[in-house]
Amino acid sequence: MQVSDDILTLNEATVSPGTMSALDHDPVIPPSQALTDTTATAYVFKRPLRRIFQNRKYAPSYIFSAVEAIAGVAALAYLIATCFKQRNSAPLPVETLSGPGGSSEPSLSTGGETPESQPATSTQYLLRPPAALENQIEVLNPTLEEKACLSSGEIESIEEAREKFQEQLADLQSLGKEVEALRELLIDQERGLEAAREVGGGVGLDVLDLVELRLQQQKGELQKKENDLEAKQSQVDSLKWSYKQEADALVLRANALSDGRRLTPKAASALTARDAVSGRQPQQAPLTEKAILYINVLVGEALAKARIIQNVLTTQIFLSQPRENEALECLSQLRALSMQLRYLKLDAEVASVNHAAKTLSGALVRAKTKDEMQ
């Protein structure tokens, strides 16, 4: 490949005489220094372009070969730097999760799949926790109204359990991010190593083998972190919300009532969630005939409350927002109570509660329809 004199003449015409005079001087290479690849490359990039093109010794094909070699060495240098750099940066901050304001009721609608049966993967934890974990945080965050029937010691222990649970979840999310970052890094490094082997650039095979050895070591580190992530995930999953702890909450309310103490449903749920997270033995005794007797008392109170609200919805002319909210809260409590009774296998009580919930729901729909037509 040659460059025509016309092009060279045009290039000279665009440069001032003083500048052209300066460009005519080549960098000096000592005669004793051999013209190695490195010095030749330096010579190419320091020498004026016009003079290089005029000299067959440094034709453009040689320049492209030199640039290719430099690219290969640069790629390998970057690869080595990323392989051996210290991965001791602090983990990404994870926001502490909290339940939605004004409600600590666990979500019972999961699209036909219970929270306990929903699959949980490390990727899910990076974005947001599964429903059973979010529910546990909500249950461990009782409102001021719920705290009114709890002692100061119980409130403090619930707060400690919530902090412990959130710390465990944050650790899991942080570890999951570390694993994902290391996976991506190894993929990039393997691609870079493959590219460096293809380009070559005069790099010794022993250097490439050293880089590959470091990659194998990092794969071992990744496997260890993945094992740690799996163990941490199992630990966090053991603390999640469950139907059992909700059933325990109903038994706890019944036993407290037998002792003359009244606990709201959400306050009792907070206590059993605390026990599940902290590893305590549940406060309530096993389901006994006495406990079943007081459970029926609680069921009767819930049914009576539902009938009162139903009568109000049926007789009132306009549906006010407070009345609608009261009906919705009662429906939520009836559904939660039905779930607790079903877990305890108290089938007769389940049927009564389900019927009351269906009747109240129908009354609410009719009241809303009548209000919209007016």
Instruction: pLDDT band for 78, please (50, 70, 90 cuts).
Output: low
> How far apart, in whole angstroms, are the C-alpha atoms of residue 133 and residue 48?
68
Phi first, then psi: give them for residue 160, nearest 5 degrees. -65, -40
Q: What is the pLDDT of residue 285?
A: 58
Q: What is the pLDDT of residue 159?
A: 96
Whether 212 shows a pLDDT value over 70: the answer reads yes
Q: What is the pLDDT of residue 264?
A: 95
Whether 208 shows a pLDDT value over 70: the answer reads yes
Q: What is the pLDDT of residue 100?
A: 34
User: In this structure, which amino acid lies at residue 305?
Assistant: K
More confident residue, 275 or 82: 275
Residues 113-132 have pLDDT tens digits of: 344 444 444 444 544 567 88
The residues, ordered by sequence, that sit 6+ positions from 321 with a Cβ below 8 Å of its Cβ are none
Whether 157 shows a pLDDT value over 90: the answer reads yes
Q: What is the pLDDT of residue 116?
A: 43
Give the number of C-alpha atoms closer than 13 A to the C-alpha of residue 105, restricted to the C-beta side. Answer: 18
Count of C-beta atoms within a 10 Å radius of residue 33: 8
Q: What is the pLDDT of residue 304?
A: 98
Q: How far apart are the first and last CA of the chain?
A: 91
Q: What is the pLDDT of residue 10?
A: 37
Of 101, 109, 99, which Cα lies nearest the Cα of 331? 109
Residues 135-145 have pLDDT tens digits of: 899 999 999 99
Q: What is the pLDDT of residue 71?
A: 47
Per the CB < 8 A criterion, the answer to whether 227 and 96 are in contact is no
Count of C-beta atoms within a 10 Å radius of residue 239: 20
Per the CB < 8 A criterion, the answer to whether 256 and 263 are in contact is yes
Instruction: pLDDT band for 76, please (50, 70, 90 cuts).
Output: low
Of 38, 7, 42, which Cα lies nearest the Cα of 26? 42
What is the value of pTM for the model shown?
0.61
Instruction: pLDDT band for 211, please (50, 70, 90 cuts).
Output: confident
Q: What is the pLDDT of residue 77?
A: 54
DSSP string, 172-224: HHHHHHHHHHHHHHHHHHHHHHHHHHHH-SS--HHHHHHHHHHHHHHHHHHHH
- Dihedral sign (CA 340, 342, 345, 346): positive
Whether 228 shows a pLDDT value over 50: the answer reads yes
Q: What is the pLDDT of residue 231?
A: 92
What's the whole-number mean pLDDT along residues 10-35? 43
Residues 248-283 have pLDDT tens digits of: 999 999 999 999 999 999 999 999 999 999 887 665
**Whole-number average pLDDT of the chain:** 73
More confident residue, 206 or 356: 356
More confident residue, 372 or 316: 316
What's the whole-number mean pLDDT along residues 55-59? 45
What's the whole-number mean pLDDT along residues 303-332? 94
What token pair was written down for 134? 């979010």
Out of 37-41, 70-74, 198-202, 216-220, the most confident range is: 216-220
User: In this structure, which amino acid lies at residue 52?
Assistant: I
Whether 233 shows a pLDDT value over 50: the answer reads yes
Q: What is the pLDDT of residue 28?
A: 45
> How far apart, in whole angstroms, are the C-alpha atoms of residue 73 and residue 204?
11
What's the whole-number mean pLDDT along residues 279-298? 83
Portion of the chain with pLDDT greater than 90, in percent: 43
Instruction: pLDDT band for 204, please (50, 70, 90 cuts).
Output: low
Instruction: pLDDT band for 309, please (50, 70, 90 cuts).
Output: very high
What is the residue extent of each domain of the chain? 287-374
